[in-house]
Amino acid sequence: MPDNDYDAFAAAYDADNETNAWNAHYERPAILSLAGDVHGLRVLDAGCGGGAHAAILVERGAILTGIDASAGLLDIAKRRLNGRARLLVTNLNEPLPFADGSFDLIVASLVMHYLPDWSRPLSEFHRLLSPNGRFVFSTHHPFMDHQLAGHENYFETYGFNDTWQRGGKTMTMRFWHRPLHAMFDALKTAGFRIETVREPQPAPEARDLFPDAYKSLTTEPRFIFFSTVKV
């Protein structure tokens, strides 16, 4: 199977994503908090997966478009959203099929670490945003990636593999580590001003629901969150 073949385990991945400590009680509340008030905003959910974030954004009044490279995950999103959003199979490594200034907010949840080069997607996000539009995203914390990869040089941008097990299937996942300065440089080069960088704590209920994960999430870097503005 190819790396990152989400179609092969879409249902199992989405079911786990819906309730686990890392997504449901850590990443999702943190990025939605950064997104803020979305009522009436044209929002692009870039890498929307099964639509967990999209459903909440729609409930909060967003005019939502979701894109993902996985047709299997988008099928789940279509069932979840039931016509309340526009959903398209799209690859972030390619030009995006929208007009300039089409969106007021772009949200990318745990997507950027799949991309070997940020220059094309960031350039496209900048093009798609209205003046002073915001790009909010979460990605693997570079300290977590570097520890997981076991690579000798933190300061390099490099690819590495990890193995996931979902629904009785073993999947090889391909990620890209980049040091923190490379993230900042890429955002600045693409025309974004960084408003906020967060290393959040999990939701309080995770302490009782997932005590081992809670201890990990409150003592070790996992994900890092950015809120940026189009300059």
Would you state the pLDDT for residue 1? Answer: 33
Tell me the one-letter amino acid at 219.
T
Three-state DSSP class for 81? helix
Prediction pTM value: 0.93
Number of alpha helices (DSSP H) and beta strands (DSSP E) in the chain: 10, 9
Residue 154 tokens, joined:
């933190």
Q: Where are the domains of the chain?
A: 6-230
Whether 230 and 132 have beta carbons less than 8 Å apart is answered as: yes
**DSSP letter, residue 49:** T
Sign of CA dihedral 50, 52, 55, 57: negative
pLDDT less than 70: residues of the chain: 1-15, 166-167
| Tens of pLDDT, residues 127-153 | 999 999 999 999 999 999 998 899 999
Whether 104 and 41 have beta carbons less than 8 Å apart is answered as: yes
Would you state the pLDDT for residue 6? Answer: 59
Whether 55 and 78 have beta carbons less than 8 Å apart is answered as: no
Residue 152 tokens, joined:
């000798």
How large is the C-alpha radius of gyration of the chain?
A: 17
Between CA 105 and CA 5, with CA 228 as vertex, the angle to 5 degrees is 70
CATH number for the region 6-230 comes to 3.40.50.150
